[in-house]
Amino acid sequence: MLNFTVGPVQSSECVRAIGAENVPYFRTPEFSNLMLENERMILDFANAPEGSRAIFLTGSGTAAMEAAVMNALTRADKALVVNGGSFGTRFVQLLQRHDIPYDEIKLERGQPLREEDLARYEGGDYTTFLINACETSTGVKYDMDIVAQFCKRNNAFLIVDAISYFLAEEFDMTELDAGIMITGSQKALACPPGISILALAPSALEKIASTSVKCMYFDLKDALKNGERGQTPFTPAVATLIQIHERLKEIEALGGAQEESRRIGALARYFRNALVDLPFELATASPCASVTSLHPTTASAYDIFTTLKDEYEIWVCPNGGELRDLVFRVGHIGALTTDDYDVLLDAFRDMQRRALI
Ligand SMILES: *Cc1c(COP(=O)(O)O)cnc(C)c1O
């Protein structure tokens, strides 16, 4: 099987080998050290400001999105949220669920964020800005610089869901002055799903300390306190955390986050440059390096997904809802090489010969 979805993605051999081991007991100095190293490497790769902390929450990416909303916002806040697809909609649903007043910048699917989309919200007393740096459902990358400038001008606390962006694009928490960066184990970290990560700037730590959270599992105060000694309040996904450690060390040894995003960017370019003779159009003018969204002009996107899976043992990522037949996605995260893309491109050419596309 060759997996080009956007998560879970293919893992390196050493990460997979850990999955075959028994899960060790974790209330030990050894596991604490591993967790402290995990925290250090995440904060380093995100270039988080001095005094930041990272939390590893057992739960998928949405768990960290919900924890961010519950710990950094109250009903006294006013949020501004970018909604350009299903992950933007998820932030909106979380704000609704937790009774946080908000306004929504609704974008067409695949549409980049422009200065003029932000202009009418200028001076709107927003305390918090929420955005998915990459809206994975359409593969669109948002211009984080104009977002950061908007937040600085308007004194808004910035929460970035970088789940499919972190390590695929350069992400600098300090430069963006982001309060919270969220990522997850099954995207560019290329580990099994189950862990979501919050990098928290000192501004976020202040908010967490003063917010009363009506939920035990998602109250980050306890997680921060336990994390000081490299522990978690409850049993975490121990094996996944050990795999994350292996993977973070692997990235560090190969030159760090910058080098990893360069590698992923090169794979994305390799694939996009090879598409010229195929009947696909890019579904967004501003694609993120982690994923290429394609609109097939001669066949149903969902049929292409099914044929690749059933007849070629290749997985691309289908879309749901109204995009089901219009768009499919090819990921560039995980343990993939240009040879793997050659296999996919050959399959497309074979499907072309068979008049399937
Ligand atoms: C994958 C992803 C998530 C997390 O989804 P889960 O299924 O909860 O892991 C959230 N936001 C974005 C932008 C994503 O790509």
Per-residue confidence (pLDDT) for residue 37, from 0 to 100: 98
Q: Which residue has the tokens 């890019």?
A: 282
pLDDT averaged per 10 residues, the chain (length 357): 96 97 98 98 98 98 98 98 97 98 96 97 98 97 98 98 98 98 98 98 98 96 98 98 98 97 98 96 96 97 98 96 95 98 98 96
Atom of ligand 1 nearest to the CA of 186: 9
d(CA 228, CA 233): 11
- Which atom of ligand 1 sits closest to the CA of residue 187? 1
Among 9, 62, 291, the mutation site with the greatest number of ligand 1 atoms within 8 A of its Cβ is 62
pLDDT, tens digit, 9 for 90 and up, residues 232-274:
999 999 999 999 999 999 999 999 999 999 999 999 999 999 9
Q: Whose CA is nearest to atom 12 of ligand 1?
A: 163
C-alpha span between 305 and 297 (Å, rounded):
14
Q: What is the pLDDT of residue 336?
A: 98
The minimum-distance atom of ligand 1 relative to the CA of 62 is 8
Task: Give pLDDT, residue 220.
Answer: 98
Q: Tell how far the Cα of 198 is from the centroid of ligand 1, in angstroms.
A: 13
23-54: pLDDT as tens digits? 999 999 999 999 999 999 999 999 999 999 99
Query: From the CA of 276, how far away is ligand 1's center (Å)?
Result: 30
pLDDT at 73: 98
For 163, other C-beta atoms within 10 Å of its C-beta total: 30
Name the helix (H) or strand (E) containing 108.
none
Looking at residue 85, its pLDDT comes to: 95
Query: Residue with the nearest Cα to atom 2 of ligand 1?
Result: 163
Type of residue at 24: P
Residue 74's pLDDT is: 98
Rounded to the nearest angstrom, the distance between the alpha carbon of 183 and the centre of ligand 1 is 8
What is the pLDDT, as a whole number, of residue 269? 98
131, 140, 164, 332, best to mutate for ligand 1 pocket (most atoms within 8 Å of CB): 164
Continuous H helices in the chain: 13-19, 29-45, 61-72, 86-97, 115-119, 144-154, 173-176, 202-210, 220-227, 238-253, 257-273, 301-312, 338-353
Which amino acid is located at 79 in the chain? Answer: A
CA of 203 to the centre of ligand 1 (A): 24
Q: How far is the CA of 163 from the centre of ligand 1 (A)?
A: 6
Distance CA 132, CA 27 (A): 34
Compute, in angstroms, the gap from residue 292 CA to the centroid of ligand 1: 16
Q: Which residues sit with their C-beta closer than 6 Å to ligand 1?
A: 7, 60-62, 87, 132, 134, 136, 161, 163-164, 184, 187
